[in-house]
Amino acid sequence: MRGKLVAGNWKSNGDLVANRRLLEQIKASVSSMPGVEAAVCVPYPYLAQAQQILGDSSVALGGQDVSQFGLGAYTGAVTSTMLADFGCKYAIVGHSERRSIFGDLDEVVAAKFEAARKAGLVPILCLGESLQERETEITESVVGRQLDAVIAASGVASLSRAVVAYEPVWAIGTGKTASPAQAQAVHAFIRNKVARLDAEVASGLKILYGGSVKAGNAVELFGQPDIDGGLIGGASLVADEFIAICRAAVARA
């Protein structure tokens, strides 16, 4: 049993007052959900606040990105050891906003994945195609290429302590969700691709879906055989919505 994971990606949102309210509501409602783990990936400056509020609750903490480098002269970069120091379990790498806005190439994403892994963090590796790539029917080659870069750098065994998030770029923050069948098809493609290299790693690999997940569509998405939860952007900022998505995961766990 892989269990389900529901991870919130707050992106560049929040302030001390709003965060406290949101975190306290999440902590009160989503602790000890059978078969489901909840996590929040908060902006770096708020990691200490989130760590303190979540305390020893079952809600995990993550960073939204991580440096591919270690300690040193890398102005503005936050290392995986720093994330670990603030109680992070997860680090998102390769989010499409990092790839498209900040220019993170496949090789950089692979280096970030490796840096996170080496520090004992669980990387959440985001993969996904643009609308144009879907329309030209190259979704599998794009997602396959993004995954191959990580497997080439870290080996397939590295996926035994990692999470993959399939996030079609055209569904992120747009209100357009991939249909459960569309998402399932890509999730199955990812799992089969890994299975050709290592069947055991593939069967244990959590593959999340991300892209306009809401309480209203989560049950159906999470009911697909290869969808092991969600990476949630906008809806993770609304306590009731995030909590309802976690409950949808419980219903499908």
CA 161/CA 123 separation, integer angstroms? 8
CA 102/CA 48 separation, integer angstroms? 25
Residues that bind ligand PEP (CB under 6 A): 9, 167, 172-173, 210-213, 231-235
Closer CB to ligand PEP, residue 156 or residue 249? 249
Report in angstroms how near the CB of residue 233 gets to ligand PEP at its nearest.
Answer: 2
Closer CB to ligand PEP, residue 138 or residue 238? 238
Is 167 labeled as catalytic in the residue annotation?
yes
Indicate which residue of 95, 97, 114, 129 is catalytic: 95
- The residue nearest ligand PEP at its CB is 233
Is 187 labeled as catalytic in the residue annotation?
no
Burial 180-210 (b: 16+ CB within 10 A, else e): bebbbebbbbbbebbbeebeebbeebbbbbb
| Beta strand pairing call for 4-9 and 206-210 | unpaired
Indicate which residue of 37, 133, 167, 241 is catalytic: 167
Cβ atoms of residues 223 and 179 within 8 Å:
no
The sign of the torsion formed by the CA atoms of 232, 238, 239, 243 equals negative
Report in angstroms how near the CB of residue 73 gets to ligand PEP at its nearest.
Answer: 30
How many C-beta atoms lie closer than 10 Å to residue 57's C-beta?
16
Cβ atoms of residues 91 and 124 within 8 Å:
yes
User: What is the 3 state secondary structure string of 74-137?
Assistant: CCCCCCHHHHHHCCCCEEEECCHHHHHHCCCCHHHHHHHHHHHHHCCCEEEEEECCCHHHHHCC
Closer CB to ligand PEP, residue 191 or residue 214? 214
Report in angstroms how near the CB of residue 186 gets to ligand PEP at its nearest.
Answer: 14
Closer CB to ligand PEP, residue 173 or residue 216? 173
Report in angstroms how near the CB of residue 92 gets to ligand PEP at its nearest.
Answer: 8
How many C-beta atoms lie closer than 10 Å to residue 100's C-beta?
11
Closer CB to ligand PEP, residue 156 or residue 252? 252
Tokens read off for 116: 């996170």
Report in angstroms how near the CB of residue 155 gets to ligand PEP at its nearest.
Answer: 26
Residues involved in catalysis: 95, 167
